[in-house]
Amino acid sequence: MNGIGFALPEIFMLVAALVVLLVDLFLRQHSRILTYMLTQAALLAAALLVYGNFADGPARQVVGDMYMHDYLSSLLKVMALLLTCVIVVYGRKYWSDHQEAPGEFYVLVLFTVLGMMLMVSSTHLIVLYLGLELMSLSLYALVSLLRDDSRATEAAMKYFILGALASGMLLYGISILYGLTGSLELLAIAEILSHEGSAETVPLLLALVFLIAGLGFKLGVVPFHMWVPDVYQGAPTAVTALIASIPKLATLALLVRLLVSGLGNITSDWAQILMVLGMLSIMLGNLVAIAQMNLKRMLAYSAIAHMGFILLGISTQTMDGNSAALFYALVYVVMSVGGFGVLILLGQAGIDAETLYDLKGLNKRSPWFAFMMLLLLFSMAGIPPLAGFHAKLLVINAVLQAGHLVLAVGMVIMSVIGAFYYLRAIKMMYFDEPDDSTPLKWDLEFGLTLSLNGVWVLVIGLMPSFLMTVCVRALDAKHLL
């Protein structure tokens, strides 16, 4: 396959998004099922294109050395595309409950995924930045889809303003890096910085601070977390599920590309910053989540804590730590999407389920989906033998092996404290009487998708070795430049 052929999934996704946009213009409200079907077909076809050309050998730079074809990018693209298929299924039920069928939702979802695909494969800082902005601008628009909802409008404005500030910081860091090295290609930057005396300058450290600040906002870690609870609460629940998943995978890829591959020669500097941000995120996220009675805000602060674990994994500067962070990210996004799927299930007749009280008596209303939520919450809490337990164990072990005993002990303590708010939600599901005894409504597609979402957490927890092997291989030196 020639160089441009490796970018075929991205080219296909761009064409598919434009086709869905044009077709939707000519459809009436009741005919928008076609938009949904075209979106799902586009996502599945793109996933097949990526899988058909899965990078199983050494990493390669193609398309003018601006595009990386490696195992990591292929893995994250397939995962993101399949997760987006799940989110679109949840989104269809959400908009049906609200008696709306916005074609813009499906088009913007496709553009969001396209931006993510560009981000994970880019080795050129300008292309990387363009992918980030494409994804971010699509998300800003998605948050404000409920035009008559003041909370959604407020959340979109906060997200846009703070996101623009973070993008400016990232771009400023890139400009400083370019001024120091004269190159925008990550591998060329790494080679230039490898020369003796080039890696310990004040301007380089300044560039590093701006880069980490920009990426920290996208991950939603302390102290760049101020947008997370408001956006999670104000955005439509189907959009919140998207925000909680795809951007996390894309930003993890950026951290690996920028810090591990591009700035690996100043590892000690960025590792210390990530350690501080990671531990602060775990502490603040878990402690503040205890005080939340709004379920979406609770999951938002929970996300901040989970992102702290990922940062601490990368900060170890070891292969085990990096692969543990990747494993954690893949497990977390599935758990998070499933949790918001249950919230969409509980929301009926255009009324969103947002508070912990909406979970009361779920076991009496639907024992099966109460069990699915039980699996998801137990996994988030790190209860064995679910996938979340292995994710936390791998990261804590990597931190311990790197010699950071105090950090490892702190992570264990905060994990125990954080289990409280998950157990409180489970207690409400199984031991409280429901405030609303209205039977839950769902179609076969939604029920099957949500069930598979929950069962996946259990299956990976019982057989984690396959996903662990995949993560180690994705970050192996032979498959990652």
The residue that leads in pLDDT, 311 or 61, is 311
H or E stretch including 175?
A: helix 150-181
Q: Read off the pLDDT of residues 335-383 as tens digits, 9 standing for 90 and up.
A: 999 999 999 998 876 677 888 888 888 888 889 999 999 999 999 999 9
Residues of 63-97 as b/e, b for ≥16 C-beta within 10 angstroms? Answer: beebbbbbbbbbbbbbbbbebbbbbbbbbbbbbeb
286, 417 in Cβ contact below 8 A?
A: yes
Q: Compute the distance between CA of residue 352 and CA of residue 98 in angstroms, rounded to an integer.
A: 9
Q: Read off the pLDDT of residues 124-162 as tens digits, 9 standing for 90 and up.
A: 888 888 999 999 999 999 998 887 778 888 989 999 999
- At residue 123, does pLDDT exceed 70? yes
**Which DSSP string do the residues of 88-99 spell out, in sequence order?**
HHHHHHHHHHTT
Q: Read off the pLDDT of residues 8-54 as tens digits, 9 standing for 90 and up.
A: 888 999 999 999 999 988 877 666 788 889 999 999 999 999 888 87
Q: Compute the distance between CA of residue 431 and CA of residue 429 in angstroms, rounded to an integer.
A: 6
CA-angle at 288, arms to 278 and 233, nearest 5°: 100
SS3 296: helix
H or E stretch including 61?
A: strand 60-62
- The pair phi, psi for residue 355, each rounded to 5°, is -100, 165
- At residue 200, does pLDDT exceed 80? no
231 alpha carbon, distance to own chain's centre: 15
pLDDT for position 264: 61
Q: How many CA atoms lie within 13 A of 359 on its CB side?
A: 30
- Which of 305, 366, 379, 294 minimizes the C-alpha distance to 337? 379
pLDDT for position 183: 83
DSSP H helices in 261-349: 267-290, 295-315, 319-346
Name the pairing type of β-strands 60-62 and 67-69.
antiparallel
H or E stretch including 67?
A: strand 67-69
pLDDT for position 240: 93
345, 447 in Cβ contact below 8 A?
A: no
Span of 6-20, 62-76, 259-273, 313-327 with lowest mean pLDDT: 259-273
Span of 137-146, 178-187, 395-404 with lowest mean pLDDT: 178-187
Look up the pTM and report it.
0.92
pLDDT for position 266: 66
419, 392 in Cβ contact below 8 A?
A: no
- Which of 264, 277, 330, 327 minimizes the C-alpha distance to 305? 277
- Which of 219, 475, 477 minimizes the C-alpha distance to 323? 475
